[in-house]
Amino acid sequence: MSILDSKVPKGPLKDKWTNYKDKINLVNPANKRSIDIIVVGTGLAGGSAAATLAELGYNVKAFCYQDSPRRAHSIAAQGGINAAKNYQGDGDSTYRLFYDTIKGGDYRSREANVYRLAEVSGNIIDQCVAQGVPFARDYGGLLDNRSFGGVLVSRTFYAKGQTGQQLLLGAYSAMNRQIARGKIEMFNRHEMLDVVKINGKARGIIARNLVTGEIERHSAHAVVIATGGYGNVYFLSTNAMGSNATAAWKVHKKGAFFANPCYTQIHPTCIPRSGDYQSKLTLMSESLRNDGRIWVPKKMEDVMAIREGKKKPTDLSEEERDYYLERRYPAFGNLVPRDVASRAAKERCDAGYGVNATGEAVYLDFKSAIERYGNEQAKLHGITNASKEKITELGEEIIRAKYGNLFQMYEKIVDENPYKTPMMIYPATHYTMGGIWVDYNLMTTVEGLYCIGEANFSDHGANRLGASALMQGLADGYFILPYTIGDYLSHEIRTGKIPTNTPEFDEAEKAVTDQINAFINNKGTHSVDYFHKKLGKVMWDKCGMSRNATDLKEAIQEIKAIREEFYKEVKVPGKANEMNPELEKAGRVADFLELGELFAKDALMREESCGGHFREESVELDGEQEGEAKRNDAEFAFVAAWEYKGEPSDAVLHKEQLEFNDIELKQRSYK
Amino acid sequence: MKLTLKIWRQNGSQDKGKMVDYQVSDISESMSFLEMMDVLNEQIINEGGEPVAFDHDCREGICGMCSMHINGEPHGPDKGITTCQLHMRSFKDGDTITIEPFRAKAFPVIKDLMVDRSSFERIQQAGGYISVNTSGNTQDANSIPIDKHAADMAMDSATCIGCGACVASCKNASAMLFVGAKVSQYALLPQGQVEAVDRVKNMVAQMDLEGFGNCTNTGACEVECPKGISLENIARLNREYFKANVKG
Ligand SMILES: Cc1cc2nc3c(=O)[nH]c(=O)nc-3n(C[C@H](O)[C@H](O)[C@H](O)COP(=O)(O)OP(=O)(O)OC[C@H]3O[C@@H](n4cnc5c(N)ncnc54)[C@H](O)[C@@H]3O)c2cc1C
Ligand code: SF4
Ligand code: FES
């Protein structure tokens, strides 16, 4: 019997959220003033939550490890944010966004949550425009849209290639307003190192002031975790260097179940790695697949000639190119979902068609788009008999306006001009669909402890569609949590201030200081990065784009061994009571070394292929879908929520069975 | 390549600090500048020393965290990029590279190459927002059409990443470009009009309070700004400030 209760309200799907809001308990404004909430993380999810909760009247304490909320990793999101506005009149609706998200997630998410997300999506755009977010507009002055992978409508709103930046600055400005009013107390350069539970309820956190090294106690009536994803378990990913799982992992150890850790998104379009010194990978936004066509040469001799520098990609004629996504998936072509596009690139490269020295790169080509736009512009400007050069020039202008900053980024890193020669791309770890298990209220299995944004497991199932993470983060923070947390806090109005001089705080603080001292006093031989890279290699090789039982079993053993070596041999210079980036990294890597093992364990348990999780043992053997991932709904249509029991290997599995009442379970087909 | 690095080392805000020389070898051209720093730090750790502390996070030019003064220029010799986007192909074998923190009275050093930019935070808190309720009960996003050119210009101003290079490049350590960018973004949008007067007055007052210098139009900020924020933003800030004071 599962002990998980998703608390999904009764009633028809489309009325659930409205009915729920009508019935929940509210806290009156005077009482809100005596209630404290801690928000850890100030990305899109945490930033929007902190601002809204403060606006409602609660006292908010917000934490981030950077020197400003404006620098959270959400800032790096490029492509856009989805919303079912149907401004383009192309048949979009709440239901369609809901359907696309469930299907894109390969039927592994909770219907009610996803529907609610689709329902509030339009509000986000209204809210952001009112805040002064400068979304792209058309010449009529109305908002412009673009398409993202896995869907057939144009519902993605964007601000050049810097959508995440603009949305985050919007949330940041809302926070600033509340900071100025004294309703948010902001703790920059602070890292949460543990949660404090009193009588089963989350009542505070232990944080380290990263400038002074001081260990601090903070109490509250509820704690919200909004600390982002754990993609850096791979060492190399598109995440920021500091992105980490520590807060999530620490709450897991205190009783919050961790769901579907093996669901990771490997993004198809990233700049390939160039050497061992590589510290991170850079994403080239999915929006580029609107206009870029992906290919490798058809003939092996051309591949070789290109690798040896004897031929250039531009030398190959159309007939000599294999636009493999268009070939395999005629309906969606270059806009298939990410997991499908990534595996297809891996398939071609494994077959030997990779176009760079490492054999791990495919082309993303803008030539057709430049021509198409150029011709369109020539017509618009009334230029007859435009020369080829003129057309290219006009076309490049359009591409520059759309993706200029991405092209510039690419050129800076690779030192090639992508207007003239196709980009080289390869898949890289990008996003984690797995995370802390939450119910419909976004509450974890610990009372009073909430989890929002990428840090939770909720809405994307086994694969997230492009432009949906920003949507989810802001939906959680602006429009969902502020209601659901109120229902819980309505029972806290008589609690009074939570003291921090209690045994529970003493104990949590002691555990944190003990670990810090152990690191500092360890007489090890290797840097933290040495271990992080070792872990990353195991994760990529054995828990990466395709997985099998043998590799996963090995991975579990290897990660365990790295962890043991880490505690014996890690070397952390400097002192505890000062700014010490190596010490910060040590704590984060320690947690990744546990999470990595649970990840492999989860992947081993899930003997089916679904979304980003591809098990080599589970593929279609014949028919039109031959070679494609094969789901097993009879046995695996559940959320795997793991309970911590000491070591990752002892974790206990709890299943939340997924029910699909409004959508028929089908094999995903993008053919 | 082999390089000599002259790096500012300062153990905390109270320490006096000094330049220290380091040698690194086997630096590849395709490395980013910060990857070169990683190599240096790994070397220092293996030799039993304390690595150089520096701020960084996204390593793709958008978070605004990285902040190094390289060979006398904020974010180094290349134009239109941040420190993390600088690649070693901009240097050659045998070069000596000087690396210092951003220097300004309003940006005290925390450690080595890390500085405290919370003065920027306080300027934003003084007025860098539109006072709209975050409840979602706002009007439909398309109810006010916005001229595409105005929207694009607002976007250009809004791309400021708050890195502080403009301040570090300025002989007066003025923050006018940074403040101008935010004021401009809102000045160009209809949503920003209601609070325009208070916003510009409050942000400028806070800027002065933080100890940033006056703008004498040298234009150094525009040259060093990694996001191409133009001097036009300062001109607009001046106009908005003037207008606000006329209105009272
Ligand atoms: C390069 C890139 C491009 C992307 N593009 C898109 C896109 O176009 N569209 C889209 O929908 N999604 C995109 N995504 C995904 C999306 O950006 C993220 O999923 C989303 O922004 C996560 O937001 P968040 O608020 O959950 O977490 P984050 O923005 O990661 O914020 C985490 C916060 O937690 C804080 N924090 C972390 N640990 C601690 C700790 N221990 N103590 C205190 N504070 C802590 C951090 O300081 C930060 O404030 C992209 C992701 C990447 C990497
Ligand atoms: S104006 Fe330019 S240099 Fe100044 S903070 Fe903004 S991005 Fe940095
Ligand atoms: S590290 Fe983010 S801008 Fe340089």
Chain centre distance of CA B102: 9
**What is the predicted ipTM?**
0.98
Give strand pairing partners of A365: A293
Ligand 2 close to Cβ of residue B229 (< 6 A): yes
H or E stretch at A642: strand A638-643
What is the reported pLDDT for A405?
82
Among residues A146, A289, A338, A606, the one annotated as catalytic is A338
Judged by CB atoms closer than 8 Å, whether chains meet at A67 and B58 is answered as no
A241/B57 Cβ within 8 A: yes
Residues in chain B, total: 248
Burial of A382 (0-12, 13-18, 19+ CB in 10 A): exposed
Please choose, from the candidates A29, A355, A394, A40, the residue with its C-alpha nearest in 3D space to the C-alpha of residue A192: A40
The pLDDT confidence band at residue B113, using thresholds 50, 70 and 90, is: very high
Contacts of B148 in chain A (CB under 8 A): 137-139, 141
Q: Where are the domains of chain B?
A: 3-111, 117-247
For the domain bounded by B3-111, which CATH number is listed?
Answer: 3.10.20.30
Backbone angles phi, psi at A202, to 5 degrees: -70, 125
Tell me whether residues B51 and A581 touch, CB distance under 8 A. yes
A575-597 pLDDT tens trace: 999 999 999 999 999 999 999 99
- Identify the nearest ligand to the CA of A286 by its number: 1
pLDDT of residue A1: 44
- Give me the mean pLDDT over the B101-129 stretch: 97
Distance CA A648, CA A605 (A): 14
Q: Which tens digits make up the pLDDT trace of B34-83? A: 999 999 999 999 999 999 999 999 999 999 999 999 999 999 999 999 99
Query: Domain A267-428 falls in which CATH fold?
Result: Flavocytochrome C3; Chain A, domain 1 (3.90.700)
Of A49-53, A262-266, A281-285, A366-370, least confident by mean pLDDT is: A281-285
A581/B contact by beta carbon, under 8 A: yes
Span A299-323, pLDDT tens digits: 999 999 999 999 999 999 999 999 9
How many CB pairs below 8 Å do chains A and B form together? 216
Would strands A222-225 and A449-451 be described as parallel, antiparallel, or unpaired?
Answer: parallel
| Residue from B58, B73, B227 whose mutation best tests the ligand 2 pocket (most atoms within 8 A of CB) | B227
Q: What pLDDT does residue A597 have?
A: 98
B76 lines ligand 3 (CB under 6 A): no
**Mean pLDDT confidence for B9-20:** 95
Judged by CB atoms within 8 Å, which residues 170-189 of B form the interface with A?
185-186, 189
**Tally of CA atoms within 13 A in the half-sphere of A299 that contains its CB:** 11
Per-domain boundaries in chain A:
267-428, 503-636
Count CB neighbours of A286 within 10 A: 27
More confident of the two residues A455 and A401: A455
Mutate which of A128, A158, A412, A577 to disrupt the B interface (most B C-beta within 10 Å)?
A: A412
Inter-axis angle of helices A163-180 and B118-125, nearest 10 = 80
| CA A345–ligand 2 middle distance (angstroms) | 38
Which chain B residue is nearest to residue A481, measuring alpha carbons?
A: B135
CB B84 less than 6 A from any atom of ligand 3: yes
Atom 7, ligand 2: which residue's CA is nearest? B160
Question: Contact A68/B120, CB-based, under 8 Å?
Answer: yes
Cα–Cα dist B173/B167, whole Å: 5
User: Distance from the CA of B111 to the center of ligand 2, in angstroms?
Assistant: 22
Query: Phi-psi region for residue A483, left (φ > 0), alpha (ψ -120 to 50) or beta?
Result: alpha
pLDDT band (50, 70, 90) for residue B248: low
Quick check: do B3-111 and B117-247 share a fold? Answer: no
> Tell me, what's the pLDDT at A627?
84
Lowest-pLDDT range, A15-29, A278-292, B21-35?
A278-292
The β-bridge relationship of strands A184-187 and A59-63 is parallel
Q: B146: nearest CA in chain A?
A: A141
Q: How far is the CA of A163 from the centre of ligand 1 (A)?
A: 13
Predicted pLDDT at A626: 86
- CB-based contact (8 Å) between B158 and chain A? yes
Contact B140/A at CB under 8 A? yes
The pLDDT score that the predictor gives to residue A238 is 97
Q: What is the pLDDT of residue A39?
A: 98
Q: Does the CB atom of residue B186 touch ligand 2 within 6 A?
A: no
Evaluate: CB of B61 within 6 angstroms of ligand 3: yes
Tell me whether A176 touches chain B (CB under 8 Å).
yes
Predicted local distance difference test score (pLDDT) of residue A670? 76
Task: Please give the average per-residue pLDDT across A159-182, as a whole number.
Answer: 96
Q: What is the DSSP pairing of strand A652-657 with strand A638-643?
A: antiparallel
Give pLDDT tens digits for A148-170.
777 889 999 999 889 999 999 99
Would you state the pLDDT for residue B135? Answer: 75
| pLDDT tens, position by position, B152-177 | 999 999 999 999 999 999 999 999 99
Q: Do B126 and A180 touch (CB under 8 A)?
A: yes
Q: Which of B28, B48, B57 sits opposite A275 (nearest CB)?
A: B28
Contact B38 A277 (CB under 8 A): yes
- What's the gap in Å between the CA of A252 and the closest CA on chain B? 25
Q: Distance (Å) from the C-alpha of residue B92 to the closest C-alpha of chain A? A: 16
Residues of chain B with C-beta less than 8 angstroms from the C-beta of A231: none
The answer to whether B204 contacts chain A (CB < 8 Å) is: no
Nearest to A580 by CA among B239, B219, B110, B136: B110
Whether residue B169 contacts residue B220, with contact meaning beta carbons closer than 8 Å, is answered with yes
- Give the distance from residue B68's alpha carbon to the nearest chain A alpha carbon, in angstroms: 15
Closest CA to ligand 2's atom 8? B163
Q: Do B155 and A173 touch (CB under 8 A)?
A: no
- A129, A274, A580 member nearest B30 (Cβ): A274
Say yes or no for a CB contact (<8 Å) between A55 and B53.
no
A76 and B145 within 8 Å at the Cβ level: the answer is no
B1, B9, B47, B63: best mutation site toward chain A, by most A Cβ within 10 Å?
A: B63
CA-based nearest residue in chain A for residue B78? A412
The pLDDT mean for chain B works out to 96
CATH topology of domain A503-636: Methane Monooxygenase Hydroxylase; Chain G, domain 1 (1.20.58)
Q: Which ligand neighbours the alpha carbon of B67 most closely?
A: 3
Q: Looking at CA atoms only, how far is residue B29 from chain A in angstroms?
A: 10
Q: Is residue A2 predicted with pLDDT exceeding 70?
A: no
Out of A71, A129, A574, closest to residue B141 by CB: A129
Burial label for A513, CB within 10 Å (0-12, 13-18, 19+), is: middle
Give the C-alpha distances (Å, rounded to integers) separating A71 from A108, A241, A587, B76: 32, 12, 21, 21
Is A338 labeled as catalytic in the residue annotation?
yes
Q: Cβ(A29)–Cβ(A57) under 8 Å?
A: yes
Calpha distance B175→B182 (Å, rounded): 11
Torsion angle (degrees, nearest 10) of CA B21, B25, B29, B30: -100
* Statement: residue B201 has pLDDT above 60: yes
Q: With CA atoms as reference, report the closest residue to B178 among B187, B191, B168, B167.
A: B167
Tens-digit pLDDT profile for residues A57-71: 999 999 999 999 999
Lookup: tokens for A354: 């990779």
- Minimum-distance ligand 1 atom for the alpha carbon of A158: 8
Query: Which residue of chain A comes nearest to B145, CA vs CA?
Result: A141
The CATH number of the structural domain formed by B117-247 is: 1.10.1060.10
In the reported structure, the alpha carbon of residue A496 is separated from the centroid of ligand 2 by a whole-number distance in angstroms of 44
What residue spans of A434-569 are helical by DSSP H?
469-474, 481-489, 503-521, 528-542, 549-569
